[in-house]
Structure 1
């Protein structure tokens, strides 16, 4: 097996989810996090995640106990062929972590950062040699959501991005290659655009928080789970395809785009959203909502299995 031994730096929600997925694929994991409770928390997370991954057929070769816990980042990465970095998104912490692990890395090891808010070029100065360091940004929770955004640049060694994509595919992920560095990468920018208009509709009194959420999951969200928006619009005009769609709807979309809202997360906006989500939750706890989310994701993934 390629990349048999892996490491995860950071044992929060993202790091624990990555660790669960790597274990499910039959790989061993060395994990570092300074939290003295990290072993208990991560083992509990793996136990909770394992049944869902089993339903998805991801645990056939896996062993949930093939994980070790380490008191330093450097000791965790020793002998690892692939390292997933998930430490807090503050540059001083990232740079310090890279400086600690670089001397201990195997020469051919790949290190991928889960960073969502930081760019690759911002993180690279933490390395003496960043040639085997890439962006490998997942969507939460990584053990259930397939997407990983992978990015290298002119400082990245030839073949490293392709090898990272090969690794992610081997553990069950779907990758896209980000070809140009932008803040937020690709999927987060798409999320941000949708949420901005959702918040604008709420604050303008067009619809409640619950109904705006419902408009997404009961409407275009179902289609987006099957195909992306451009391909769906291509299908929307029948045999004429996207050209016919654009010919018909150019003025309509230009008008909508000109009318889209511009909002910022002020205290007033935040409180409106918080109260709306509380009402939408209907008394369900965060844990219960997460269980519902995960069950729906598993069901959707199983229904699409073999179709792609």
Structure 2
């Protein structure tokens, strides 16, 4: 299915919404943005200026321009001609209720309404839409939105296949790498994978087995380097040599099961939270955090540029 070609509406222009606006503009789309917060337009346009150089480096599509952005205080005006709506409002049910009811009434019937929600299940959002719940789904991105390709496409119980394929095509056109989440789960898929790692990291700190800095180094200078290229499961496959995943699971499956069985539950108490915060503060002593973020983004851009030039990575 081809991606919808008309204007894109971005509703909510905080950090996530600004990333979506920048990405759509960089891919030559016309964007109408809406946010009721005072000063939202000024913050959005300032944010675009900050993000734009990275998008220029990655390569702008034909017709891309910040001049193709329209900002409006009127929600109905923002979505009236939209071919795709990306919603980024606060994660509050009371606010979502009114917002999705209004979006459902004002958005053209065939237009997908996608929420950036990181935790709300799409079926709950569909209950807020009396007219066309079949076009509602979650399109969950990752920060920084204008750089990280992953987006989770999560349909609800009443989402049509057409909405799923249309959203997937739209995100691909923006250079995203969409995955189809086939069950509604708290936190979707990727946040659950992150939470599993955080859980054990917190536990190791609580037990005194490792410092915060050692845990960060263990991932950043170890498996995290491989995961950024292939992911954990294909990485396992390659670790199995010529026999691949089957060989690895036959020989390392039993000890891996023992490791998984030994993982401990952890409660994020005030005491543990304080230890984690103190550990991060210790790790970053003497480091210019603004410079750290700039170097992170520069390396991320380099990695993205290199991955684009490769043809054998899945």
TM normalised by structure 1 equals: 0.95
Is residue 10–residue 88 contact of structure 2 (8 Å, CA) maintained in 1? yes
Backbone CA RMSD of aligned residues: 1.6
Q: What pairs with 1:1-308 in structure 2 (closer than 5 Å)?
A: 2-128=4-130, 129-284=132-287, 287-308=290-311
Q: Is the 8 A contact 2:123 2:158 kept in 1?
A: no
More moved, 274-283 vs 217-226: 274-283
Deviation digits for residues 214-261 of structure 1 (CA, Å, limit 9, x no counterpart)? 111111111001112111111111111111101111221111101112
* Aligned partners of 2:4 and 2:84 also within 8 Å: no
Most deviating of 14-23 and 255-264 = 255-264
Cα shift at 1:11: 1.0
Distance apart, 1:293 and its partner CA:
2.4
- Check conservation: 1:30, 1:76, Cα contact below 8 A: yes
Deviation at residue 59 of structure 1 after TM alignment: 4.9
Separation in structure 1 between the aligned mates of residue 54 and residue 299 of structure 2, nearest angstrom = 11
Task: Give the distance between the partners of 1:152 and 1:112, measured in 2 at CA.
Answer: 9
Aligned length: 308
- In structure 2, do the counterparts of structure 1 residues 62 and 282 end up closer, same or farther at CA, with 3 Å as the change threshold? farther
Cα distance, 1:65 vs structure 2: 2.5
Unaligned ranges ≥5, structure 2 = none
Helix, strand or coil at the partner of 1:179: coil
Deviation at 1:286, TM superposition (A): 5.0
SS at match of 1:126: coil
Instruction: Say whether the 8 Å CA contact 2:126–2:156 is kept in structure 1.
Output: no
TM-aligned CA distance change 1:49 to 1:30, over 3 Å: same
On the 8 A contact 2:239/2:248 being kept in 1, the answer is yes
Q: 2: CA distance between counterparts of 1:240 and 1:122?
A: 45
Any stretches of 5+ residues in structure 1 without a counterpart? none
The Cα shift of 1:285 comes to 5.5
Q: Which moved more, 1:282-291 or 1:118-127?
A: 282-291
Look up the SS of the partner of 1:194 in the other structure.
helix
Distance in 2 between the 1:181 and 1:11 partners?
A: 26
Whether the 8 Å CA contact 2:125–2:136 is kept in 1: the answer is no
SS in structure 2 of the partner of residue 98 of structure 1:
helix
Could you state the TM-score of these two structures normalised by the residue count of structure 2?
0.93
C-alpha separation between the residues in 2 aligned to 1:17 and 1:195? 26
Displacement after TM superposition at 1:77 (Å): 0.9
Deviation at 1:117, TM superposition (A): 1.0
Deviates more, 1:114-123 or 1:276-285: 276-285
Whether contact under 8 Å (1:58, 1:172) holds in the other structure is: no
- Which consecutive segments of 4 or more residues in structure 1 shift more than 6 A? none
**Could you list the per-position Cα deviations for residues 128-165 of structure 1 after superposition, in whole angstroms to 9, with x for gaps in the alignment?**
12111111011111110000110224412231100100
- From the superposition, tell whether residues 60 and 262 of structure 1 become closer, same or farther in structure 2 (CA, over 3 Å): farther
